[in-house]
Structure 1
């Protein structure tokens, strides 16, 4: 399989997952996502979940559909978003909040190591190839 095909599949998969996550923020997983919102966020937990859901849908759509010349910027934006929401994962861990099957401190702790993978995935799948 060609490198470009793998990159495209990776980018589209990440985008589709972001769209699904965004839709779930607004619908069936809305309550569970509130468990990740740190208490120090100045908005209500529900507003934070809704706004982040819209952001995920927009980012996911951009990953899937943005023209090639914008992909690197979209990837960096997605990576920044994954970095910005990381405190939510930390909050869920330190406050022992159950959600998404993360019902033990060990599961919540292991989850923390997946966020850097998302950052890398966003950057790698959108990086402009040098000729």
Structure 2
């Protein structure tokens, strides 16, 4: 794929992350709190606030620092891996949030997390074909 497609992927994901981070801190804070697993050892609100700040920082950096896209894309991919257990817990605990009000919807959502990891890696330039020879 072209550098233009990678740039578009980077800008779109970065912007979406900033938006999601802002929602963590404002209107959707309660919904995000519902997604923090009961077993997680950090206060729900602190978890939501700090993950929101992380999303804003990573998203803004992904957009504003194209020279650091590999590093930031890798960090974003790692972020998506780190929060995945929360998504699994939402499924296992049957927690309703963000319209995920059935086990089927919560299960389907789990399959989108690897796509976010790939999107971050692609936008960061990690998934490039290298010419042979």
The answer to whether the superposition gives a TM-score over 0.5 is yes
**Alignment partners' CA distance in 2, 1:9 and 1:91:** 32
Output the TM-score relative to the length of structure 1: 0.93
Counterparts of 2:92 and 2:66 in 1: how far apart (Å)? 40
Q: Which residue of 2 aligns with 1:23?
A: 22
Look up the match of 1:34.
Answer: 33
Task: Give unmatched runs, 5+ long, in structure 2.
Answer: none
Quote the residue 1:120 is aligned against. 118
The residue matched to 2:40 in structure 1 has which SS? coil
Instruction: Give the deviation of 1:3 after TM superposition.
Output: 1.0
Match of 2:10 in 1: 11
Question: SS in structure 2 opposite 1:10?
Answer: helix
Q: 1:77-111 deviations in whole A, cap 9, x for unaligned? A: 00000000001101111111111110000000000
For this pair of structures, how many residues does the alignment match?
Answer: 129
Tell me the equivalent position of 1:49.
48
Q: Which runs of 4+ in 1 moved over 3 A?
A: 128-131
Deviation at 1:29, TM superposition (A): 0.6
2:98 is paired with a residue whose SS is coil
CA RMSD in angstroms comes to 1.4
Q: CA–CA distance in 2 between the matches of 1:67 and 1:89?
A: 29
Question: Please, which of 107, 111, 114 is the counterpart of residue 109 of structure 1?
Answer: 107
Structure 1: gaps spanning 5 or more residues: none
